[in-house]
Each structure stands twice: as C-alpha cells, then as structure tokens.
Amino acid sequence: MVGSGVSFEAADGDGPAAGGGRRADEVRTAHEGLLQIRRVVNGPEGEGVPAPWEVRAMPRAVALALEAAGLPPSAVDAEGRRVRTGYRVAEGPEGRAQVSWVGPPGSGAAGEERERLAECAAVLERLGWVCLLYRGPRSRRFVEVEAPC
C-alpha cells in the first residue's frame, strides 16, 4: 500500500481479489508515478516508451498498466483455486512477460480470450510495449510482451 511502508504490488492475476476505492487510488497513484518516471528518464520519447526499470521488472510493469486501464485481473482464493476471470501476467521466456486470459472452470474464459487479449495488447501497445499473440498448450491464446528495440 502506498504510504504505509509496504510496497505497492500491481494485480498480476495470481493473488487474492482486490478492489475498492482505496485500491483504485493506489493504482492511479502508482501509474501516474510510472508515467512521470518515463517523462524524466526517457528524454524526448517521454511517456511513449517503457523506462529502463519497467524493462527489468516487466511483469510488474505490465500488470500495473493493465490494472490502471481498468481491465480486470484474475484472482485465486487461499487454496490457489481461480475464483475470478481476468488477465494473468507471468514471467515469459528471455525477459518477456506473458499475458493470458484465465478464469475458474466453466467461466467461459477460453471463449472470450481473443477479444480480451486484444484489449490487453491495445493498452500495452499505447504505452510502447511490443505485443505478439500466440497459441499455447490446448490452443489457448496468450500475448507475449517485450520491450521495443
């Protein structure tokens, strides 16, 4: 949490369901801070490209961007069972991040993943990330995110 001595963690889709007014304020503050860092360290490119720390902590930065855009993160309960449909951000190969659309069994997440992952990619591309859509195991789609060259 911001201001409490505990660092802010963006929702990556593998944690408990979070929400409410305070969470929205924390997300907004963290995202505004990210954009300010971009303006300071990126020179003329400003907000249009990820800052070096974002590239080093790509899953965290990607999760913050998606949460700040209002996209819903997935969530799990105390036993690790998926309880909410939404994005999930994980470490990908070679320093990339992977975004998938997941939900509880029977939630229909697989049927909506193409559209919802396209939304995720659009948010990330506006922020300067490079996004590629792939099919993985069981033909499930995911977006691989990388820094621009």
Query: Does some domain include residue 2?
Result: no
How many structural domains is the chain composed of?
A: 1
Beta strands 130-135 and 86-91: pairing type? unpaired
Query: Does some domain include residue 51?
Result: yes
Q: Which has the closest alpha carbon to 99: 127, 140, 70, 69?
A: 140
Query: Does some domain include residue 135?
Result: yes
Domain that holds residue 89: 21-146
Percentage with pLDDT > 70 across the chain: 96
Q: Which helix (H) or strand (E) holds 88?
A: strand 86-91
pLDDT tens per residue, range 45-79: 889 999 999 999 999 999 999 999 999 999 999 99
Query: Does some domain include residue 102?
Result: yes
CB 8, CB 22: distance < 8 Å: no
pLDDT tens per residue, range 111-146: 999 999 999 999 999 999 999 999 988 899 999 999
Query: Does some domain include residue 3?
Result: no
